[in-house]
Structure 1
């Protein structure tokens, strides 16, 4: 039996960008730019926050943008748009649309995603209305090399993230409040058998975006429960909880010079006028200092 991971120490939560995002998501820390990229899916915006200088930039696209990763094989980013994958260069505004893998699922859109250690981008889809179990998970190795890795049957998919040894992929069935753990072959990028890693109780909201730290612990955003929780990678036991001043917490990523700042996105989506009056920071980008170190975000095309 493995020992439980230690509980991390947490500082105070601070708002670093009161952006009032309708649906904040897509966190990705750029080591080379020392900046956090994140998005507002429904407002079609890409944001970049640079803590060292205080610079905050934003770009508006002509399509929804939901997940972001940096490229090694060219300038700019690989992103998921509503229907598929694309290359986007913030410096020039150039957008190159690539594979659109599910043209028959017209009510779907892409949601969360990130790269694995071999530079393959994994993006999940969801039913735009959050009702029909039509979500799937795609592995994008490059233009013309996109496969449906898992026909999930999830109404809303979120994640993924990986264990430290790369042999487990965690992926969220958000509507059913379930975090799944899949056997994962790092060399081939194929999925094996799955098991339920964690189920959220009703009062804990819904598992949304997540990340893994350098100790292997999972950090999961709670949509509808105003918090982020930290979990032991083996048992799933909760080790710590970050309380936030707004209900809909959507994604997390470690950043900063030592990767010890936990950045957290939130959303105004589905909050009524009374709730918005009580939660003026809904849709903000938050940060909290920790003694936990994150892992550098994997780059697209590293060895795919």
Structure 2
């Protein structure tokens, strides 16, 4: 049996740059649109969708009537698939129209959707969580092109984050944020079934909590640290830390590669749960940041529905 070679450590090419000092309560949902050459992101608790155009520094935003948490572009139609507190919906950024599709947890009014993205086959995966971040009520759902929704993993996590996948798509990583754990699963690319759950990485006590994450074109995982003011890059097999990027605020929430060559790492943050004293010391809490690294991302897969 041939063991995979360790991933090379990437290099930081710039200091973090503030792209949008939005003061988001809970910045999340990073998605680079190759079609629009812009970054979508959200303020979950602020109920707002943002779109940032790096080439012109143009900024757009759309308010929502409820929490919006994650999104994917549609492959064959304009607009986005989004997760709201009330489930899956379509949103047209040109018209502002929201079309609700399915709420798999209408029986759990204390839950909401959190992080999510599409797998390489164009199926959207969205995790739910307890709104109060304490009860173990989170699950993972798969929403396919036929608008069929299936609970794939009854996680019993208080806070879910991720997922992301290995370069070949055969391993899925999913975060048990409150317990500082990242789990790996075998992933059947044809059926979307998951199996063989195992612990992939446990954060150290003082290293914050694993939040949003992404996989680069070399298979390395980039993970946002809630409560530890950083993003780290890891070997996909050993989970060894390869690079750490320090940020000027504590609650780092999500990451996505973007830019014309997918070489800019965009990073969201949050003001949520920071005290008045902490906010005074962290005036950039809730901002959108970017940093240049000698790594390249992968284009986000669009939802096939």
* Alignment TM class, shorter chain as reference: over 0.9
1:1-304 to 2 correspondences below 5 Å: 1-10=3-12, 11-142=14-145, 144-301=147-304
Report the Cα distance in structure 1 between the residues aligned to 2:169 and 2:266, rounded to whole angstroms. Answer: 23
Deviation at 1:2, TM superposition (A): 2.5
Report the Cα distance in structure 2 between the residues aligned to 1:206 and 1:152, rounded to whole angstroms. Answer: 17
Report the Cα distance in structure 2 between the residues aligned to 1:67 and 1:220, rounded to whole angstroms. Answer: 16
Q: Deviations over 1:161-190 (max 9, x none)?
A: 000000000000000100000100111111
Report the Cα distance in structure 2 between the residues aligned to 1:61 and 1:120, rounded to whole angstroms. Answer: 24
Where in structure 1 do 4 or more consecutive aligned residues deviate above 3 Å? none
Report the Cα distance in structure 2 between the residues aligned to 1:233 and 1:4, rounded to whole angstroms. Answer: 9
Report the Cα distance in structure 2 between the residues aligned to 1:52 and 1:282, rounded to whole angstroms. Answer: 24
Q: Deviations over 1:72-112 (max 9, x none)?
A: 13210000000200000111000000110122212100000
Normalised TM-score (structure 1): 0.98
Deviation at 1:49, TM superposition (A): 0.5
Aligned partners of 2:166 and 2:215 also within 8 Å:
yes
Deviation at 1:60, TM superposition (A): 0.3
Q: Deviations over 1:110-148 (max 9, x none)?
A: 000000111100000000001110000000014640000
Q: Deviations over 1:176-218 (max 9, x none)?
A: 1000001001111111111110000111000000000000000
Normalised TM-score (structure 2): 0.98
Deviation at 1:297, TM superposition (A): 0.3
Which of 220-229 and 8-17 deviates more?
Answer: 8-17
Report the Cα distance in structure 2 between the residues aligned to 1:180 and 1:289, rounded to whole angstroms. Answer: 28
Deviation at 1:3, TM superposition (A): 2.1
Question: Gapped runs of 5+ residues in structure 1?
Answer: none
Report the Cα distance in structure 2 between the residues aligned to 1:283 and 1:4, rounded to whole angstroms. Answer: 34
Q: Deviations over 1:15-59 (max 9, x none)?
A: 110000000000000001100000000011000000111111111
Aligned partners of 1:98 and 1:143 also within 8 Å:
no
Report the Cα distance in structure 2 between the residues aligned to 1:100 and 1:267, rounded to whole angstroms. Answer: 26
SS state of the match for residue 37, structure 1? Answer: strand
Q: CA 1:143–1:65 in 2, change beyond 3 Å: closer, same or farther? A: farther
Report the Cα distance in structure 1 between the residues aligned to 2:157 and 2:107, rounded to whole angstroms. Answer: 17
Aligned partners of 1:137 and 1:151 also within 8 Å:
yes
